[in-house]
Amino acid sequence: MQHHYHQLLQQQKQYFHNGHTKEVTFRIRQLKNLKKALQQNEKAIMKALRQDLNKSEFEAYLTEVGFLYKEINEAIKNVKNWSKPHKVKTTLTHMGAKGVIYPEPYGVSLIISPWNYPVNLTIAPLIGAISAGCCAIVKPSEQTPHTSHALTQIINNTFDPEYIVAVEGAVQTSEALLELNFDHIFFTGSEAVGKIVMEKAAQHLTPVTLELGGKSPTVVHHDAQLDMAAKRLAWGKWTNAGQTCVAPDYLIVHQQVKAPLLKALVHHIQALYGTNVLENEDYPMIVNDQHVERLSHYLGEGDIYYGGEMDKEKRVIGPTIIENVSWDSSVMRDEIFGPILPVFVYEHEQDVIEMIRKRPHPLALYLFTESDSMVQYINSQFQFGGGCVNDVLYHLGTSQLPFGGVGSSGMGAYHGKHSFDAFTHHKSLLHQSTKFDIPLRYGQMKAALNILKKLIK
């Protein structure tokens, strides 16, 4: 297996060094090929997502496929401009010279994707790789086998293997690939595995983009529009049964509005999923039995305010709200990645700061308030990957905002041009004039030091 992957990598490096991928017309053609392949296989993708996660066609299109079409269209429209060398200003000490930044592809990238949004989080980085002019080996998640197989067929039927290839397999496959000397690694997954990826990349000093997770808090202030907050929170938390890296992980609500907020939250949960969620044929299921057991354990770590229904055989756990949870419990130590929402209350804004600082930097933070000063206060207190004011998850839907983490929630960002940049080295080059030579740099003029100080001040 190791020998096979080594051969694939060497073939792709040779293909890259032949310069095939650097032509913008080539990149645009490959982006169009990718879009066409997705469109032609859309039914197969929807079927696979239904089999693996029970995603409805609407949810699958909204969160998986439709987003990709937008990303591809934007890349096709802009990749020519993104790829152009661009001049930058130089200082007076560099008179006669011009500075130019050349966007260049890293080379051969390894893309390892997760199971929770297996189409989106596999193809979105690939769009960046194609746009930048990279070759790529793609490893989809074995946790969603039907989708992994569908994606592998789509990719391998669309591209030549010396350019882009997908490989299926379990942990051993990822381990074998990570031993190789790639030019760039793009990994989406857990913090624990992210550390392993970074450790392996360090052996070759390979640059990495890590899209990890973390416990993303949602704060509801006393002046929030409660019904709107509840509706958007219900949608964002329980989309994909909470198996979203930026899902609201826990709720911090002002004590004055806790009761009406939770009442509204239950109302909107039922409006979205019905009063008997176990009978809802479109409610997503938990990815595997191991995660069902993990999540079922969390249910006993607090008092259930709402929900708690479970069908282990169907791998379904209903939307659940729990109270009276200890900060030291496993549900508050781990990223939940499921349909369980712990609730905490606060009285003073400083309480919010103390609560959130109990955890590492989150991937996302959400705040519901009508107060600009509250927004400024919360935003100034924390480092987090990104987030929303008066909404959840929606910041992912605009390619103009970079998506990525900070600290333990990841490094690097993508979407839109940021995807292009993730797979690109911005090489700087100074073009110096030979028409004249400024003697200042040589220090042989009597007044050289004084002139230099004046220029640099």
Helix axes 42-53, 145-158, angle to 10 degrees: 160
Query: Is 199 designated active site?
Result: no
Question: Distance between CA atoms of 372 and 149, rounded to whole angstroms?
Answer: 48
Give a three-class secondary structure readout of 208-222: EEEECCCCCEEEECC
- Cα angle for residues 53, 153, 196 (degrees, 5° grid): 65
Helix axes 349-356, 372-381, angle to 10 degrees: 30
**Residue carrying structure tokens 């969160």:** 63
Question: Distance between CA atoms of 348 and 219, rounded to whole angstroms?
Answer: 12
Query: Is 135 designated active site?
Result: no
Helix axes 191-202, 171-178, angle to 10 degrees: 30
Spot the catalytic one: 64, 71, 191, 211.
211
Give Cβ neighbours of residue 256 (< 8 Å, ≥ 6 apart): 222
247 touches 223 (CB < 8 A)? no
Q: Which residues pair with 425 in a beta bridge?
A: 104
Question: Distance between CA atoms of 260 and 256, rounded to whole angstroms?
Answer: 9
Spot the catalytic one: 134, 135, 245, 388.
245
Structure tokens at 401: 């905002």
* 3-state class (DSSP) for residue 302: coil
140 touches 166 (CB < 8 A)? yes
Active site residues: 211, 245
